[in-house]
Amino acid sequence: MPNTNYTLSYPILIDSMQKYMLRTDDPFVDQIPYLIQQGIIRIYNNAKDLGFDIVTQVNNVAAGTTTINKPGNWRETISIHMINPDTTDITFLLPRSF
């Protein structure tokens, strides 16, 4: 089990990256602040919408319906699935181009 009793600081992070990558050459060390910044940006971009998913349920869609209205606060479609009320089978719909 890893030791979780540590204090992380920027110099320790830089040292840890050098040890993990087994590189201490100047070109790599000069890029470490950039790599850390890119990691911060990636984490922010992946986490900024967590907890803001909105589940919308549309019942009794008639056969042959080609469009379903999106809610007013729609941002991005994560997934769409249909549930057969008779068998409770779930079918996930895949994205398609026009």
pLDDT for 5: 65
Q: What is the 3-state secondary structure (H, E, C) of 22-38?
A: CCCCHHHHHHHHHHHHH
- Of the candidates 33, 76, 31, the one whose C-alpha atom is nearest the C-alpha of residue 52 is 76
Query: Is residue 18 a part of any domain in this protein?
Result: yes
pLDDT of residue 38: 96
| Within-domain flag for 21 | yes
| 37 domain-assigned | yes
**Domain carrying residue 40:** 10-47
Of residues 87 and 31, more confidently modeled: 31
Answer yes or no: is 89 within a domain. no
Assigned domain for 31 exists: yes
**Is residue 23 scored above 80 in pLDDT?**
yes
Question: Tens digit of pLDDT for each residue in 24-79?
Answer: 999 999 999 999 999 999 998 888 777 777 777 888 888 888 888 877 777 777 78
Q: How many domains does the chain have?
A: 1
pLDDT of residue 57: 80
- Print the SS3 string covering the chain: CCCCCCCCCHHHHHHHHHHHHCCCCHHHHHHHHHHHHHHHHHHHHHHCCCCCCCCCCCCCCCCCCCCCCCCCCCCCCCCEEEECCCCCCEEEECCCCC
Is it the case that residue 1 has pLDDT exceeding 70? Answer: no
